[in-house]
Structure 1
């Protein structure tokens, strides 16, 4: 929620300043929002196929022994 608010304000200010800069930042931030969705889809596909794999980004972190 807070990230969406920051995203909206940032793109509005940059688009008002320079439409090219606004579009460039908008595209980059859109990709940042897309990454978690892609990682979730990969996890869902692995779960449906019965494969037990570590998480893509934080899978190497061990909290408990």
Structure 2
């Protein structure tokens, strides 16, 4: 699924690809942060173990975000 950068790639096309990758990395980092926060409970926490489901759902939704639409000229 990886695409190669060709010599004929335009600057706007490359900028768009970088923007898409940045958004995907940010979504992945946020999903990992949400999951880590939900799972790092301590013995003093009063929440129940089943409370991680909404956080897991939110993390999953972040990972399902569509890629950015192609840029339309500047």
**TM superposition score normalised by structure 1:** 0.49
**Higher RCO, 1 vs 2 (CA within 8 Å, ≥6 residues apart):** 2
Q: Which structure would you say has the larger Rg?
A: 2
Per residue, is there more helix in 1 or in 2? 1
**TM superposition score normalised by structure 2:** 0.44
